[in-house]
Amino acid sequence: MQKNSKGQIQVYTGAGKGKTTASLGLLIRALGAGLKVTIIFFDKGGNFYSERKVLAKLKKLYPKKLDYYAFGTIRMVKGKGFRFENINKDFSEAKLALEQAKKLSQNKTLDLLILDEINTTVKTGLLTLKPIIDLVKNKNEKLELILTGRYCEPEILKLADLVTEMKDIKHYMNKGIPARPGIDY
């Protein structure tokens, strides 16, 4: 990112696969350019997400350039796929994630902040829209901000500088193939 350039707001949304994957690609690109990057995983607790293993290794290589935080309870039920209903701890974890995001959005040394699955938190009732809009409107002006997840609210889309919609045309899960480690999580 050029010095003194204005950070943009990017949204990756839609019913198709690839929103988190796209943001992780951008994270790698940013690290390669020497930018300071943080990703906050909303509603993705647990250690079974394969990308976290790589992020842990990248953090060792780039200790001053990469941070990541995972909030939420474990949503993977072994052998059964994902649990979608909220439990009480999901609400407190979402609030903690939002507080961390607000703090980081003001950090003047951070170049890129990814808020993975934040869009979905409104649809599932974990968070309300207003504090997310406030975060987006009040971010450090040089910070590049990425919001991922299905069901992005129109108010967020309006604030965004770039919107990419992942469209679900065909998915193997519709044939009964469960989520697979290394491919889907």
Closest residue by Cα to residue 65 from 32, 114, 99: 32
Query: In this structure, what CATH number is given to the domain that contains residue 16?
Result: 3.40.50.300
Residue 134 lies in a domain: yes
pLDDT band at 184 (very low <50, low <70, confident <90, very high): confident
Count of residues in the chain:
185
Report yes or no on 2 lying in a domain. Answer: no
pLDDT in tens, 114-131: 999 999 999 999 999 999
- The answer to whether residue 147 sits within a structural domain is yes
Let me know if residue 70 belongs to a domain.
Answer: yes
Domain count, the chain: 1
Bridge-based pairing of strands 37-41 and 112-116 is: parallel
The CA–CA distances, whole Å, from 151 to 98, 157, 177, 178 equal: 18, 10, 24, 22
Average pLDDT over residues 68-81: 73
Average pLDDT over the chain reads 91
> Range of 119's domain?
9-175
Residue 69's pLDDT band, with cuts at 50, 70 and 90, is very high
Residue 164 lies in a domain: yes
pLDDT of residue 76: 58
Q: How far is CA 178 from CA 32, 44, 80, 144, 175, in A?
A: 34, 18, 8, 34, 9
In a domain, 46, yes or no: yes
